[in-house]
Amino acid sequence: MTNSIDTGNISDSEGIAIGRDAKSYVMNQHFYGTKHHFYGAKRPSYKPPQLPNLNSIPPPAKLPPYSRMILNRNQYFTGRNEQLKFLAEHLLYTTRPQSTAVIIHGIGGVGKTQLATEFVYRYGQFFEGGVFWLSFADKTVIPAEIVSCGGMMAIRPDFYDMSLKDQIQMVKNEWADGKKRLLIFDNCEEPTLLKNERLLGGDCRILITSRWADWGKTEGNKTLKLKKFPRKRSVELLRNLSNIQKPENDMTLNKIAEKLGDLPLALHLAACFLAAYGEVISPEDYLKQLSEKNTLSNKSMEGQGVQDNPTNHYLHVEKTFDISYEKLDHNDSLAHELLIRLAYFAPGEPVLYELLLATLDSAREDNSLLDFLEAIKRLTNLGLIEQEAKKHVKIHRLITEFIHLKPKKDSPQTVVENVLLIKAIEANKIGVPSRLFSWQTHLLHLTDAAIGSKSKKAADLCIQTSNHLDSIGNYPEARIYLESALEIREQQFKPDYPDIIKILSHLGNLSRVMEDFEKAISCFQRTLELREKIHGPNHPDLGFSFDNLGNLFLAMRQYDEARLNFERSLELRDQQLGSGHHETALSLDNLGTLLQIMGNYKEALSYYEKSLTIREKQLGLAHADTAISLNKIGGVVELMNNYQMALANYRRALQIREQLFKPDHPLIAQSLNNLGFLLHL
């Protein structure tokens, strides 16, 4: 099958008018090289140079005669070497007899037209039949674009006086002569414009630029998804185009590139702005401007300071995105809702379908999985979002800022916060941090964004983020978020608010693990004072403060102080709760741990066995805390060389944990590790 172009239904009289307009259009365009008009005479032949090795990218060169190229080459084009080789492989080095099409697709501003232009100026010389650039941005002028190509080929003197039908037929005949030629369809956003009919024959190679992602799997066609620049290339472009060459500026240029999401269009505009106003605006000043408000509101993102427009496209980021946004059906409420929700996740980071689907209004009738997937497909084909991996989608940083400028019916940030908060609570509760890894970046992003609001939800997010970071051993970051939660809670509530005591206790334990003992003592003493103030000196809740202080002194190897606090905790619980209460078992465990560390294994075992008896009676034979006691007994009797008893307790602890938790739970790993080590002895 061959590729074709949908030229629409236009009468002969309309065709003559379009043809004459096309002649005027052609004669007023700037072309690379000399125009050749050999009407009625034999046109000179063109012999292309020898093809270089595929891995060798040729330098720019003049195009074959009769070519139509309406864009100039961008002298600051950088990177994309692998993409140029891909295009060369499938457009130039292929031996397919039928027409071959390669589609470059990606979001607006990613550099599709720039790449196609660079390919033309480097590889166009090797197409014997010439290179012909057609704009497909407006399908109503495609016929005039084809006629313009015919005008450049100087087919016959009366070409512009012919009907459109005859003009296109003449061009088609030329393009079917068997010569290898390159046709570029720039901004072809409707796959239906290419039909599998008989418009293009011969050996035409077609290069398409498009935001549309779903081009199907037509035989012979290849797709190339163009992504944002690697950071190294972004900085290189900023440096070269702005002429900021001092190495000490590279860190700032790196941050500017990050702020712009490494989008080539935005980088080009930023570099031009810095080049134009560099005498009064330093890179640091410019970065500050970008950070103070919505990036797209900065004058640089509207083209201020740009002297050259190599693609003839909008030099305005917001307008570039608006092209895609305006094509989204205003009645497509599901796609609109998904796009807005997605704009409040971490920009540029993959979002799991499950998370995004959870943000939808549960009352909607059209939020089935099938409808959801179709809406994702529509947004992807408009170049507003990108499919990242299986069941993941992402949105570019600048498109999120574009969406933030649009009016909204509800509070999408609050909706997304609620979903992630619920998911984080669930993940932290079951104690398997790996279940949060795939969207950890989004939790951090939402939490960071919420902190400034000083709301109750902001504190809740800080607490859950801290809990997660604590569980994966990132104690410094965990403490920072917990300190933010404490600051917010203290602004909202009185000092004796229960949540403040919990945060202080957690903060103290984090500080203990980090060996910041001074901070830990301060936190634990404060919780003790608050509990005494609320409950009096003999309330069992004070036992938790004494436990924390005991563990702190244990970490500091001040065993006497540790024992005093553990015994005070046990005394309180015995008196207030009874010797058989499950919280009393906690005090017994702590004392047993201290004695085990001090080498008093027999006494430690006595405390552990008392704790086990309480837990089996109060909580049950298969409770998680019962498994803790069994594990502790196994540990101490192993040290006493009673391996059979240790093995029995380790196995029973594992059995309980396998009943309660999924196979990837850390406590199961702990039990397996204990058994493995013992059996290895």
CATH number, domain of 389, equals: 1.10.10.10
The CA–CA distances, whole Å, from 642 to 599, 633, 649, 678 equal 15, 11, 11, 11
Q: Are residues 537 and 493 in the same domain?
A: yes
pLDDT at 218: 60
- Comparing CA positions, the residue from 135, 123, 132, 126 lying closest to residue 150 is 132
> What integer pLDDT is reported at residue 581 of this predicted model?
94
Q: Examine residue 520 and state whether it is found in any structural domain, yes or no.
A: yes
Domain presence at residue 142: yes
The answer on 199 and 115 residing in a single domain is: yes
What tens digit of pLDDT does each residue of 289-300 get?
999 999 999 999
Q: Which single residue is written with the structure tokens 């569980």?
A: 471
Alpha-carbon torsion, ordered 379, 381, 383, 385, to 10 deg: 40
Residue (of 226, 320, 308, 211) closest to 268 by Cα position: 308
Among 639, 637, 532, 623, which residue's Cα sits nearest to residue 585? 623
Beta 386-387 vs 392-394: how paired, if at all? antiparallel
Question: Domain range spanning residue 282?
Answer: 231-317
Q: What is the CATH number of the domain that holds 465?
A: 1.25.40.10
The end-to-end CA distance of the chain, in Å, is 71
- Single pTM value for the model: 0.81
Q: Give the whole-number percent of the chain exceeding pLDDT 90.
A: 68
Domain for residue 68, yes or no?
A: yes
Q: Is 156 domain-assigned?
A: yes
Amino acid identity of residue 315, one-letter, is L
pLDDT value for 611:
95
End of a domain among 317, 345, 368? 317
209/242 same-domain check: no
Residue 544 counted as domain residue = yes
Tell me if 49 sits within 8 A of 115, measured CB to CB: no
Residue-level pLDDT at 156: 83
Low-confidence ranges of the chain (pLDDT < 70): 1-43, 96-100, 195-201, 217-220, 311-312, 362-367, 681
Residue 44 near residue 23, CB atoms below 8 Å: no
Please say which residue of 295, 317, 339 terminates a domain: 317
pLDDT of residue 201: 63
Residues 203, 253 within the same domain: no
Chain position carrying tokens 């030099």:
315
Contacts of 382 (CB under 8 A, 6+ apart): 211, 212, 324, 325, 327, 328
- Considering the domain architecture, whether residues 403 and 273 belong to the same structural domain is answered as no
Handedness of CA 568, 570, 571, 573 (dihedral sign): positive
pLDDT tens digit sequence for 457-515? 999 999 999 999 998 889 999 999 999 999 999 998 888 788 899 999 999 999 999 99
- Determine contact, residues 5/204, Cβ cutoff 8 Å: no
Q: Clarify whether residues 478 and 510 are in a common domain.
A: yes
State whether 310 and 342 are in the same domain.
no
Claim to verify: residue 160 and residue 124 sit in the same structural domain: yes
* One-letter amino acid of 502: K
The total domain count for the chain is: 4
Residue 155 lies in a domain: yes
pLDDT score at 10: 42
Whether residue 363 is found in the same domain as residue 281? no
Asked which of 263, 293, 317 is the last residue of a domain, the reply is 317
Residue 386 lies in a domain: yes
Taken as a whole, the chain contains a residue count of: 681
CA distance 119 to 75: 13
pLDDT, position 23: 45
Same domain, 565 and 508: yes
Same domain, 157 and 74: yes
Residues 83 and 166 in one domain: yes
CATH number, residue 14 = 3.40.50.300
With respect to residue 654, please indicate whether it lies within any of the assigned structural domains.
Answer: no
